[in-house]
Structure 1
Amino acid sequence: MTASAVDVVEPVLFLAQQEVARLLSVADCINLMSDAMAALARGEVHQPLRQIVSAPGAKGLLGLMPAYIGGADPVYGAKTGGFFPGNSALGLDPHQGCVLLFSGETGALMAVMSASEVTGIRTAAMTGLATRLLARPDASQLALIGSGHQAHWQLQAVAAARPLTSVKVAARSLASARAFVAVQQPAYGFAMEAVGSAEAAVRDADIVVTVTNAREPILLDAWIAPGTHINAVGSSTPAYCEIEPALMGRASLFVDRRESTLAESGDYLNALRAGLVSPASLRAEIGELVIGAHPGRGGANEVTLFKSLGMALEDVATAHLLYLRAKAARVGTWLPM
C-alpha cells in the first residue's frame, strides 16, 4: 500500500451493545426502517436470501445475512450471527453475533457492531412501522405475548406508534409476565397487567405482538376480534411457528419481503400445507405501503397481520446510521487496520 493510500484509510469503528443503545432509540429507528423499506420497494437494495447453517445436534444455528444499499453513500454489510434458543435460560440474548459494514466505494471495512442490540432495535422498529401503517388509528390496547430479551424493545415500538391505554403481558409463566411488568411499568403512563395465558391477553386487544420461541401455534383464530392488528415476530425459520394456520388464512397478510416469507416463515409454510394460504395471500410488502403502492388496511373490521422475519437490509441500514452518528459524536472504539 502506498503512503498516500495509508493516509486516506479510515479507522474501523467497534461499537459495543451499550454504545449502540446510546446512539439509537427504537422510536428513531422506526423512521429509518421506513426509509429502508421504501428503498427496497424502489429496487435500490440488493439482498440475497440469508444462508443458515444448522448442524445436527448443535444447540443453535448460524446465519449469514448480506446486503448492498445503493444511493449517494453506498454500503455493503452483513450480519453474521447465531440463534441459540436455550440462551434465555442462561440470562443471555438468544441472538448473538456482529454486524459488519463496508464502504460501497472501496470495499474498506468501516465498522463492527454488536448484533444483539442492533437486532433488537431494528426488529422492534419494524413492528412499530407496521403498527403505524396497519393498526386502526384508534387502536390503544396491546397484548404482548412473550417477555424475553426482545419484549421490552417491542413494547417501546408499539408505544411509539400508537397512544396506548393498556398492555396485557402473557409469558411462559405468570411469574415471568409479572417480573416483566414490574420492570417496565415505571417507564410508562398506561396500565400494564400480567395475565396467565395468551388468550387472556388478546381477548380485549386491538394490537397483538407475539415474540416467542414457540414451535407450535400459541395464537388462535378464535381469540382475535375483528379489526385487530397482529405483529408476528418470534418465528423466523421454518421450524418455528406462533400463529394458527386458520388465523393466517383469515388475516390480511403483510410481510417485510415476499421472497423471504415464502422460503423461511414457519407461520406461512404451516398454513400453506393446510391449504389456507398461497403466495397470492401476501397482500404487500411493508415498503409498498410506505411508497403508496398499496393502501394497506381495507376497513375497520379487517384483521391485519404483519409477518416479521427480519432481513439484512434492516441490519445494514441501522449499522450505517449508527456509524454516521458515532463518527459525529466520536463514540465507540476506533482502531487502524
Structure 2
Amino acid sequence: MNNLLYISEEIVTKLLNWDSTFKAIETALQCTARNCAIQSPRTFTKCPKTDSRLLTMPGYLDNDTFGALGCKLVTATPNNASLAQPLPTINAYIMLFDDVTGVLKAVIAGTEITKWRTAAASAVATKYLTQGKRLKILAILGAGNQGHIHALAFSNFFSFEEIRIWNRNKYKAETLVRALNEFSNTGKFKCYDSNKECVTGADVIVTATFSSEPIVELGWLKPGVHINAIGAGVNHYSELSLDIYKTSDVYVDHADGAKVELAGLGDLGVKMRGIGGVIAGDLPPPTLNQVTVFQSLGMAVEDCAMARLIYDLYVKECQK
C-alpha cells in the first residue's frame, strides 16, 4: 500500500537550504540542455467568475540525484487579497510521482519552493554569465517576495559591496532595506529613489516587478552588465526596453517555453540561447563587455528537482 506524504509549507521552509537548492536548479538547467528533461509549456485555465487562473506545469527530469516525475499546480487569485480575512494570492503545490509505477508519492507545498528556485535560477545564470567579471554592485528593482528572496540568495552566493533596492512604493523599499540590514548585520543594502539611479553603474540587475512598461533603459547600462529579468507584467519581457533585448545576448531556461511565452521577442528577431548550454559547456560564456539577459520563465523540471530534494530530505530527517 502506498503511503502518500503531505509535506507542508512549514516543513519545506525548515528543509530548504541555498547550497542544495543551487545544485538542484543547476542540474535541472544542465539536464534540459542535454535532453535529459521532458516538459511542455505551461497551460493556463481561467476561471472568469473569480478572475483566477490555474497553471499546470508537468515535467520529468532524468538524473540520479534530482530526477523526478512531477507536476506543479499553481493558482493565481488576485481577489484573495481583498477578502475579509485575506488569503495568499498565489498558492502552489507539487505532485511527486513514482517514475516507475506512476503512483503519487507526495503532495508538497510549493509556494516557498517557487520563491527559492526562482532566485537560485538567477544565481546560477549570474555565475555562468559573469565569469571573469568583478561584481561590486547589485541592483534589485522590486521589493516584493521575489525582490526579498533574490537579495538573500545573492548575498549568500556572491560578495557584493553594495546591494541597491528600488520600488515604486518607496516605503516598501525602505522597509525591506531595514529588514535586510538588520538580518545580515550590515549596511550594504541601500534604498534608491529612482530606477535609473538604482541601475546606473550596477554590475548585476534583477527586475522583479509586475510592470507593464519598461523600467530599465539601454542608455542606463554599463558595458558587460548582466540582467536577471523575472517579473511578470503584461508579458514576461515588459520590464526591459526592447532595444536592450535587440543588443544583448539573451538566455532562457526553457527554449520550448520561450517559443510560446516570449514569441514577441522572437518576432523581433531576438535570438534566445539556453542557459543550460553554457552550464554544460556546449556554449561559450559571453565576452566581458557584452550585456547579457537571463529571461527567467520558470521550468517544470526545476520544480521536479526541488520536489525530489525536499522529499529525500524529509524521508531522511523527518521520518527517523
TM-score (norm 1): 0.86
Partner of 1:324: 312
Q: What are the superposed Cα offsets for residues 299-333 of structure 1, whole Å, 9 maximum, x if unpaired?
A: x211011000001111111001100000001169x
Partner of 2:282: 293
Do the aligned partners of 1:255 and 1:307 also contact (CA within 8 Å) in 2? yes
Partner of 2:111: 116
Structure 1 unaligned runs (5+)? Answer: 1-5, 333-337
Matched, 1:83 2:76: yes
Distance 2:173 2:82 in 1: 15
Match of 2:140 among 138, 144, 152: 144
Counting only pairs closer than 5 Å after superposition, residues 1-337 of structure 1 correspond to structure 2 as: 6=1, 9=2, 11-56=3-48, 58-72=50-64, 75-84=68-77, 93-136=88-131, 137-188=133-184, 189=186, 191-235=188-232, 238=235, 241-265=238-262, 269=264, 271-272=265-266, 275=268, 277-278=269-270, 281-282=271-272, 284-298=273-287, 300-330=288-318
Distance 1:258 1:75 in 2: 20
Query: SS at 2:107's partner residue?
Result: strand
Distance 1:133 1:239 in 2: 22
Q: CA deviation at 1:83?
A: 2.8
Query: SS at 1:82's partner residue?
Result: strand
Query: SS at 1:150's partner residue?
Result: helix
Q: How many residue pairs are counted as aligned between the two chains?
A: 315
Quick one: structure 1 residues 192 and 290, their matched pair in 2 at CA, closer, same or farther if it must change by over 3 Å?
A: same
Quick one: structure 1 residues 202 and 20, their matched pair in 2 at CA, closer, same or farther if it must change by over 3 Å?
A: same
Do the aligned partners of 2:212 and 2:233 also contact (CA within 8 Å) in 1? no
Percent identity of the aligned residues?
Answer: 28
Distance 1:54 1:21 in 2: 30
Quick one: structure 1 residues 56 and 210, their matched pair in 2 at CA, closer, same or farther if it must change by over 3 Å?
A: same
Distance 2:245 2:226 in 1: 12
RMSD of Structure 2 on Structure 1 (CA): 2.3
Distance 1:252 1:322 in 2: 34
Quick one: structure 1 residues 248 and 239, their matched pair in 2 at CA, closer, same or farther if it must change by over 3 Å?
A: closer
Quick one: structure 1 residues 331 and 23, their matched pair in 2 at CA, closer, same or farther if it must change by over 3 Å?
A: farther
Q: CA deviation at 1:261?
A: 1.4
TM-score (norm 2): 0.91
Query: SS at 2:145's partner residue?
Result: coil
Do the aligned partners of 1:237 and 1:264 also contact (CA within 8 Å) in 2? no
Bigger mean CA deviation after superposition, 138-147 or 93-102:
93-102
Query: SS at 2:94's partner residue?
Result: strand
Q: CA deviation at 1:272?
A: 4.7
Q: What are the superposed Cα offsets for residues 260-304 of structure 1, whole Å, 9 maximum, x if unpaired?
A: 112113xx62x455x3x33xx11x211111110011222x21101
Distance 2:107 2:28 in 1: 20
Structure 2 unaligned runs (5+)? Answer: none
Q: CA deviation at 1:60?
A: 3.3
Distance 1:92 1:149 in 2: 15
Do the aligned partners of 1:66 and 1:78 also contact (CA within 8 Å) in 2? yes
Bigger mean CA deviation after superposition, 242-251 or 151-160:
151-160
